[in-house]
Copies of this chain bind each other. A is one copy, B any other.
Amino acid sequence: MYHLTALITCLAISVYFWTGMLVAKARAAHGIKAPATTGNPDFERVFRVQMNTLEWMPMFLPSLWLFAIYVSDSIAAAIGLVWIGGRILYIVSYSKAANKRGPGFGIQAFAAVALWLGATGAIAWRLIHG
């Protein structure tokens, strides 16, 4: 079973859910009425925070699970926690200013790529060695 990876999945979903809440709050604060997604740079940054987190979900979640299945549940969960930490830093920093988004983005990208590389390597090894 993959209890730790399952818990990290739920935590990652809650962080992503939070970005949607920030957009709803920014919509109200800056008077950007749906369906508009532009018109105020402070709103647009928060909207991009949500979109970018959405963009990484289909890379992060499948890589996390394939890593857990092919390598290790606990290592997958540990790297997943790094991804979540990087994401939170990205969300908080980018919401403040666009030029502060680098470090958080780098940390979460590093974690996601590590999960992808580990999973891909382990799958290839299994295919070759039966």
Contacts of A98 in B (CB 8 A): 33-35
Within 8 A of B (CB), among A49-92: 50, 54-55, 57-59, 61-63, 66, 69-70
CA distance A59 to B12 in the complex (A): 9
Q: Is the interface of A mostly helix, strand, loop or mixed?
A: helix
Known: A35-B48, A36-B44, A127-B3. A59 touches B16 (CB 8 A): yes
Q: Report which A residues bind B (CB closer than 8 A).
A: 1, 3-4, 6-7, 9-10, 13-14, 16-17, 20, 33-38, 41, 44-45, 47-48, 50, 54-55, 57-59, 61-63, 66, 69-70, 98, 101, 116, 119-120, 123-124, 126-127
Other than the given A6-B66, A35-B98, A54-B58, 12 more pairs (CB < 8 A) read A3-B123, A6-B69, A6-B123, A7-B124, A10-B63, A10-B116, A16-B59, A34-B98, A38-B38, A50-B55, A54-B55, A58-B58
